Amino acid sequence: MKYHSQDRMPILEALDRFKTMRMVPFDVPGHKRGRGNPELTDFLGEACLSVDVNSMKMLDNLCHPVSVIREAEQLAAEAFSAAHAFFMVGGTTSSVQAMVLTACKCGDKIILPRNVHRSVINAMILCGAIPVYVNPQTDRRLGISLGMRLSDVEAAIAEHPDAKAVFVNNPTYYGICSNLQRLAELAHAHGMLLLADEAHGTHFYFHEGLPTPAMRAGADMASISMHKSGGSLTQSSILLIGERVHAGYVHQIINLTQTTSASYLLLSSLDVSRRNMAIRGHSSIEKVIRLVEYAREEINAIGGYYAYSGELINGDSIYDFDRTKLSIFTRAVGLAGIEVYDLLRDEYDIQTEFGDIGNLLAYISIGDRPKDIERLVSALAEIKRNYRKNPTGMLESEYISPVVAMGPQEAFYAEKESLPITETEGRVCSEFVMCYPPGIPILAPGERVTQDILTYIRYAKKKGCSMTGPEDMEIRRLNVVKEG
């Protein structure tokens, strides 16, 4: 059944009807529309707490949607050119994990780039899938990972014809896109699914001047973070699937890990944000494109910094570029991206998305204003004047090719021992080490610790990167697989 009016907001409309009723709550949540927790009500407001409610017949149930949630998901599927859409309240992490768990069972192979988000490797730990890594190309000047080259994927498929799926990041954190249409054709020709982590590409569906979105390129499943460029509340996401994937099975997979107590605040924000993008998305994204193009010109005019864009396109490993991404190379002014990130926050009250050892990402979206861009540009100019250093000796690359010794699940559950990190060279890691954001592991379970990795970890810590993952919060010790 097709719902042609994108003006509808079924979940919000149901909540509005609910608010007019004099329903006495003898169910959860225990704050009872905020009356039991006045400080929380003062902070969030009565309007918010009054709709923080439990699933009931008139509001439907995310675990088994048959009415308003089902209609909202059908509207989302139409808006995003999908056969079906699932509302997710565990962030895009839960969407990504659902994709991998749908495609792979224990022992199944999945072809993917190593610079995936940790949620992908977590999913392999859960289901026992075996990764076939296609190491991404690296831009030597910028030190960033690029997209997936078709020739590399073809080689991986030839070597592992029994793989169940090809997984791709599209776009990357920096805005780089792969040739999704050709990747989909390649995967399908060999009986594999194409899965797309489209966390940063929600807006692609609503403007023709941006890279082709996953579902229109032929992907079988795509995870979109509506809370990133789509404007919904943090932790809300949508999983999109195509005709080749069985919706009922995907729903069963989702219900293995997703909460049975879905937040109607998150669900209604997905409903409202889908409507907003469907109706106003094109004009809103057009403004974002203009804002970012202006910012890019002004930042490049400062000198030293390099705000890059479509000039990087090479037709393969950089097949396309997301023009809304304000990715800035900082190393030429002698500062790591994380150092500029810290200065912007601490000295100028400007919070950017993340900084790594060579780049800074300022996330520009539908809620930004021209005066905010001016403030960012001015601050970057001041930072260059006041803090510029000699770049000699700075670490150049944010990607190190892994040495995979065993599968993620095997290593994670193996008998392990804790060693000082300085004594782990040559050992097999059994946990994660990463800078967060962006949440791409430097080390993942099953990978061998090398001197290059230890050097990178020391350098990233020295520069101020937020290191996460290991049991030891200080990253002084590391769990490795016990030998013998």
Over residues 167-195, mean pLDDT: 97
Q: What is the mean pLDDT of the chain?
A: 95
**Quick one: tokens of 386?**
């006041």
What pLDDT, on a 0 to 100 scale, did the predictor assign at position 462?
87
251-302 pLDDT tens trace:
999 999 999 999 999 999 999 999 999 999 999 999 999 999 999 999 999 9
CA dist 297 → 148, 292, 305, 306, 307 (Å): 28, 9, 11, 10, 8
Span 240-259, mean pLDDT? 97
Angle between helices 264-302 and 370-387 (to 10 degrees): 50
Specify the higher pLDDT residue, 396 or 174. 174
Tens digits of per-residue pLDDT, 96-133?
999 999 999 999 999 999 889 999 999 999 999 999 99
Query: pLDDT class for 5, splitting at 50, 70, 90?
Result: confident
How far is the C-alpha of 118 from the C-alpha of 436, rounded, in Å?
10
Question: 420: Cβ–Cβ under 8 A, 6 or more apart, which residues?
Answer: 476, 477, 478
The pLDDT of residue 31 is: 95
Given the DSSP bridges, would you call strands 320-321 and 130-134 parallel, antiparallel or unpaired?
unpaired
Identify whether the C-beta of residue 79 lies closer than 8 Å to the C-beta of residue 9. no
Is pLDDT above 90 for 231?
Answer: yes
Distance in angstroms (rounded) separating the CA atoms of residues 259 and 236? 13
b/e burial code for range 65-81 (CB count within 10 A of at least 16 → b): beebbbbbbbbbbbbbe
CA–CA gap between residue 424 and residue 405 (Å, rounded): 14
* Structure confidence at residue 398 (pLDDT): 66
Q: Which residue has the higher pLDDT, 350 or 464?
A: 350
**Cis-peptide into 402, omega within 30 deg:** no
Q: State the residue for tokens 């905020």.
A: 34
Q: Tell me the three state secondary structure of residue 166.
A: strand
Q: Is the predicted pLDDT of residue 163 greater than 70, yes or no?
A: yes
Looking at the chain, the number of H-run helices and the number of E-run strands are 16, 20
Residue 308: enclosing H or E segment and its boundaries? none
pLDDT tops 80 at residue 166: yes
Indicate the DSSP class of residue 58.
G
Q: Name the pTM for this structure.
A: 0.95
Does the pLDDT value for residue 399 go beyond 80? no
DSSP line for 238-269: EEEE-TTS-HHHHHHHHHHHS-SS--HHHHHH
pLDDT of the residue at 169:
96
CA dihedral 117, 319, 465, 346 (to 10 degrees): -120
Say what the pLDDT of residue 23 is: 87
Asked if pLDDT for residue 1 goes beyond 50, the answer is: no
Q: Which of 314-323, 367-376, 464-473 has the lowest mean pLDDT?
A: 464-473
3-state SS, residue 271: helix
Beta strand 237-241 with 84-88: parallel, antiparallel or unpaired? antiparallel
Residues 6+ apart with CB under 8 A from 5: none
pLDDT at 314 over 50: yes
Q: Return d(Cα 23, Cα 33) in angstroms, integer.
A: 11
Task: For domain 408-481, give the fold.
Answer: Molybdopterin biosynthesis moea protein, domain 2 (3.90.105)
Q: Does the pLDDT value for residue 374 go beyond 50?
A: yes
Give me the count of residues in the chain: 484
- C-alpha 18, offset from chain centre: 34
CA distance 434 to 402: 13
What is the domain partition of the chain in residue ranges?
A: 282-387, 408-481
> Strand, coil or helix: what is 203?
helix
The model's pLDDT over 433-461, given as tens digits with 9 standing for 90+, comes to 988 778 888 999 999 999 999 998 998 88
End-to-end, the C-alpha distance of the chain in Å comes to 60
Q: Is 239 exposed, middle or buried (0-12, 13-18, 19+ CB in 10 A)?
A: buried
Q: Predicted confidence band at 393 (pLDDT cuts at 50, 70, 90)?
A: confident
Signed CA dihedral, 8, 10, 14, 19: sign only: negative
Rounded to 5 degrees, what angle do the CA atoms 190, 121, 135 make? Answer: 60
- Is 282-387 in CATH node 2.60.40.420? no
Phi, psi for residue 54 in degrees, rounded to 5: -90, 160
Q: What is the mean pLDDT of residues 183-201?
A: 98
Number of CB atoms found within 10 A of residue 474's CB = 9
